[in-house]
Structure 1
Amino acid sequence: MKAFTVFVLLCVVSGAHSSSRDESCSNHDKAMDDALKTVCAKTCMRWSVVNSYDMTDGIGQVLNSATHNRCGSSEGIVTINELQIDPSPLVLPGNINLAFKVNVKRDLQSPIKVEVTVWKSILIWIHVKDFAFEDVCEFLTDGKCPQSFIDNNIPCSCPIPEGEYNFPSSKFPLKASSIPGGDYSVRFNVNMGPTLVLCEDVYFTVA
């Protein structure tokens, strides 16, 4: 269930109706895009960028571990009770260990829109990129699912039944190598039609 959310954060994770990328972007930014597309491919989703911003390396405070917080005052259909992403800082290319416990309060079905906003800490938080996935269910219909998700009864297609989903720590390889080091903040805003599914901020460090 949370495969698309966690990996799009490193993109994280996949959009059908987004506008095309501005070709005036720098080579550095293009390298970032290529790296993120590699990560997105791991989640069986497609990729698109709705806005682009120049990314500049900077010095940020190193986070001891990845953290997450609910954004906004309203609680959505999905609650993340636990989320573990390590090592910290992430070393790319390399392996990521992922574990989570989530509560889905009602069935999730198409359309599920995912909006992702990425910031990078350069003394202050700098807006880096936006991603929009109009209906993530469209990209979860090819039957592909990590074996560790299958073993732990984590659905990889819609509809996603309500219930508690517990995913023990599992290792996933990440080939991306061009993501600049530093602290990142990624906001996931997920909606099913007019209904809030999830709004979560995730913070992590790349070595």
Structure 2
Amino acid sequence: MHASAARLVTTLVALQLCPDVLGGPQHQPFVLNADWRLRLTQVQNFRWEKCGPSSLPAVIKSMSIEPDPIPIPGDVTCSVSAATTMALTPPLQAVVTLEKKLGDIWIKLPCVDDIGSCTYKDICTDLDRLIPPGQACPEPLQSFDIPCHCPFKAGTYNLPTSQFYIPNMDLPSFLTNGNYQLKVELSIGDQDLACYVFYFSLHAESAWFW
């Protein structure tokens, strides 16, 4: 997983399906050049819910993210409590399904450069790439003794109310505004671990105007 992709997923940035816009004096449609970028400016209406059976071993007990909307760039305050009844060890697979709401239906978006509806075969390896083993976990994880590498032992993990700064984020040109749902399913082999759906809206503007 690329570092930019991981940051987008962490901050719940999503894809949009349609790359076309209306332009020109006659409002003729044209396709944005692939080199043109969009800049995320706002994430709002965040909520989450559990999917799958109640017997799954890894659970989110509580999660709070403020403010709503979240300005980008800007500060976000969050708290999370999660627990697992079994150790999370390699290969820890994450199947991510990203959908955008168009009218009354949800449209599944493709996987593009590790962003979108992607399968990450082993997020333990991805974590080792992002944070090399032996390097200290970033704050505030280190202060609250929350690991950032596998294995994650069975137990409860609590992140008290903490503030993060989210910097500017440039997105591929096919990412624009809309309502999204992001489904994340964790598993090790045949063992399902967790299933959650995150709902949110994003607002982005063309970086060409910045």
Please say whether Structure 1 and Structure 2 have the same fold, judged by a TM-score greater than 0.5.
Answer: yes
Q: Work out which of the residue numbers 192, 197, 204 in structure 2 matches 1:196.
A: 192
| Matching residue of 1:115 | 95
Number of residue pairs aligned between Structure 1 and Structure 2: 164
Question: Larger Cα Rg: Structure 1 or Structure 2?
Answer: 2
TM-score (norm 2): 0.66
Which letter does structure 2 place at the counterpart of 1:176? M
CA-based RMSD: 3.1
Closer, same or farther: CA 194–174 of 1 in aligned 2, 3 Å? farther
Paired position in structure 1 for 2:157? 165
- The answer to whether the 8 A contact 2:52-2:194 is kept is no
Deviation at 1:152, TM superposition (A): 1.0
In the TM superposition, 1:17-36 aligns within 5 A as 27=33, 31=37
More helix by share: 1
1:26 deviates by 6.1
State the shift of 1:29 in Å. 9.7
Per-residue CA deviations over 1:70-108 (Å, capped at 9, x if unaligned) read 112353221101112232233323333322111111111
Mark the CA change 1:181 to 1:169 in structure 2 (over 3 Å): closer, same or farther.
farther
- Residues 190 and 95 from structure 1, CA distance in 2 versus in 1: closer, same or farther, beyond 3 angstroms? same
Change (3 A) 1:27 1:99: farther
Letter in 2 for 1:131: C
Gap regions ≥5 residues in structure 1: 13-24, 37-61
- Counting aligned pairs with the same residue, the percent is 26
Query: Is the 2:77–2:163 contact (alpha carbons within 8 Å) kept by the matching residues of 1?
Result: yes
For the residue of structure 1 that corresponds to 2:179, the secondary structure is strand
- Greater strand proportion: 2
Q: Show the 5 A alignment for 1:1-20.
A: 7-8=9-10, 10-11=12-13
Residue 130 in 1 paired to residue 117 in 2?
yes
TM normalised by structure 1 equals 0.67
Where structure 2 has 5 or more consecutive residues not aligned to the other structure, the ranges are 1-5, 15-30, 110-115, 204-210
Higher relative contact order (CA 8 A, sep 6+): 2
Query: Is 2:37–2:170's contact at 8 Å kept on the other side of the alignment?
Result: no
Greater than 6 Å deviation, 4+ residue runs: none
Mark the CA change 1:92 to 1:27 in structure 2 (over 3 Å): closer, same or farther: farther
